[in-house]
Structure 1
């Protein structure tokens, strides 16, 4: 029996369908029973994800847990102490689940973390590896606003709460024998993707000119089917126990190349203006959009050689195939 948290989310919904197709027996821990999950999925209401949530009803006969539920980035966060709120859900509530799982005899817990545990950007030709994390950096701690001393820092509250959860999970694994598997994805895209990726498809589909035709960065992404395949691989793979894995499509793209390939998938011309990258970065920084400049122009590469070598895993879906699937879902949603 697999217990899944976050089953109604972007990753969770697709993972639920995949696990059922693979013949796994699945129960979804939900805040309350919902119609958004297939009727064939057993639902166990556990209320909110809190540091003192009682998981007893959900842990009966569970062999493995896939923990996706989390407090994610909120564009206009109204919390007076953002770091405390992230820690409450992403750290304390996660460790509470792990402790109760270990006591109930659960064999393995797969934790979906974030590449933000490694940081926000990489130097050219120096991708992140699984052994590096925020704990190895000496950046100032984030303030309650979610920004370090320099504004948008590597150690934002979300990344810090995920890193602290990872550390606590490793300690629980050592103390109890619960097998912990940690997966750190970069940006995930696929059918139903929202936020900035969805906006990019919308702008390209509408033929809106974008000043992004001369960006020479390199960024790792992961398609939803590839992430799901890795999660599924880690359920039973003996070499996955107590390991941390980075995941990507295995092909890094510049922002310009990503937009060009998205346009091709859409069947639309890419109206990308060749504005010099330095001009774009300066302009965005001057108007207080330094974080956006970093995401559009900066590097963020991950090295998945450990994932490949230890698990014998290869991303099953190519970038272009994944972009076509993403675009098809977007176009259907526009009809």
Structure 2
């Protein structure tokens, strides 16, 4: 499919990349902005409007073939009240979806999260057939947004990406990059839990695959690169991109966990040491292929100024 796509969140980490990539793939992109700013480069047009107080959605969605909804309150805002997550993630999605249905939009692509399905870690491989069990306010708001889409007559898909990395990433990815850039050996070599990641490029390819897929879809789809890595492997890939050796020391996980508990970093250790491996079976069936391996992507990220 190529046509007019309405994109929300075009000034965010994921949205900025989607705007560039979708434009490069031949789509015309109309960005939906919360406040009047300069039209982002690459956008065919822009409409100003607040998704929580929609005034001009009919005009915003006129002649639109598909909506890509990437706006919302990010997981990094961990101190936000649950009501804020519900308003900015679930209710705003419900409002936009109803407007899209009235405008007879062909497909609605929602950027959800793996946290709509599971917690920060998972004991086995997470698949789309597993029941959704979000464990925090962010995940619950994303799951509620998916449920709102299911109540409409739209043909929709909710992409559930795992941790997304790329230039400009914040949170855990930024912390990992800072750690890899330090000149010191790191006591992480014995950690064995694997975690799935996905690059911005692979996520954009997933959005393109969903936009062009024969319908109807009307379901969530996990988005994850197929090669989960351990934390030591991630650090080694980043340092390889910097032209450096891994510099990893195999300190036993139990000892490392004790040190983190004594220094008040137990929650951080549980996220780092725990695994979360997910499979993108639905996207694979649509012909999606990741843009690069996770190792290649992390090496490239480390080289990015």
Q: TM-score, normalised by structure 1?
A: 0.84
Q: Does 1:186 align with 2:166?
A: no
| Residue in 1 that maps onto 2:63 | 61
Q: How many Å separate the matches in 2 of 1:225 and 1:17?
A: 11
Q: Does 1:162 align with 2:148?
A: no
Task: Name the SS of the counterpart of 2:125 in structure 1.
Answer: coil
Q: How many Å separate the matches in 2 of 1:27 and 1:75?
A: 27
Which residue of 257, 263, 266 maps to 1:290?
Answer: 266
Q: How many Å separate the matches in 2 of 1:99 and 1:297?
A: 41
Task: Name the SS of the counterpart of 2:30 in structure 1.
Answer: strand
Deviation at 1:74, TM superposition (A): 4.2
| Residue in 2 that maps onto 1:122 | 122
Alignment of 1:33-182 (within 5 A): 33-35=36-38, 37-38=40-41, 40-47=43-50, 49-50=51-52, 52=54, 54-75=56-77, 77=79, 79=80, 82-120=81-119, 121-123=121-123, 126-134=124-132, 137=133, 155-172=135-152, 176=153, 178-182=154-158
Alpha carbons 2:19, 2:42 under 8 Å: kept: no
Which residue of 248, 253, 269 maps to 1:272?
Answer: 248
Alpha carbons 1:212, 1:256 under 8 Å: kept: yes
| Residue in 2 that maps onto 1:32 | 35
Whose strand proportion is higher, 1 or 2?
A: 2
> 4+ residue runs of structure 1 moved beyond 6 angstroms?
none
When the two structures are aligned, how many residues end up with a matched partner?
Answer: 301
CA 1:194/1:54 → structure 2, altered by over 3 Å: closer, same or farther? Answer: same
Q: How many Å separate the matches in 1 of 2:275 and 2:78?
A: 25
Write the deviation string for residues 265-289 of structure 1: whole angstroms up to 9, x where unpaired. Answer: 1112223232111222233244443
| Residue in 2 that maps onto 1:227 | 203
- Give ranges in structure 2 of 5+ residues lacking alignment: none
Deviation at 1:51, TM superposition (A): 5.8
Task: Name the SS of the counterpart of 1:183 in structure 2.
Answer: strand
- Give ranges in structure 1 of 5+ residues lacking alignment: 138-153
CA 1:133/1:158 → structure 2, altered by over 3 Å: closer, same or farther? Answer: farther
Deviation at 1:69, TM superposition (A): 0.2
CA 1:75/1:4 → structure 2, altered by over 3 Å: closer, same or farther? Answer: closer
Alpha carbons 2:239, 2:299 under 8 Å: kept: no
Alpha carbons 2:32, 2:49 under 8 Å: kept: yes
Deviation at 1:239, TM superposition (A): 4.6
Q: How many Å separate the matches in 2 of 1:198 and 1:73?
A: 14
CA 1:92/1:40 → structure 2, altered by over 3 Å: closer, same or farther? Answer: closer
Q: Does 1:9 align with 2:8?
A: no
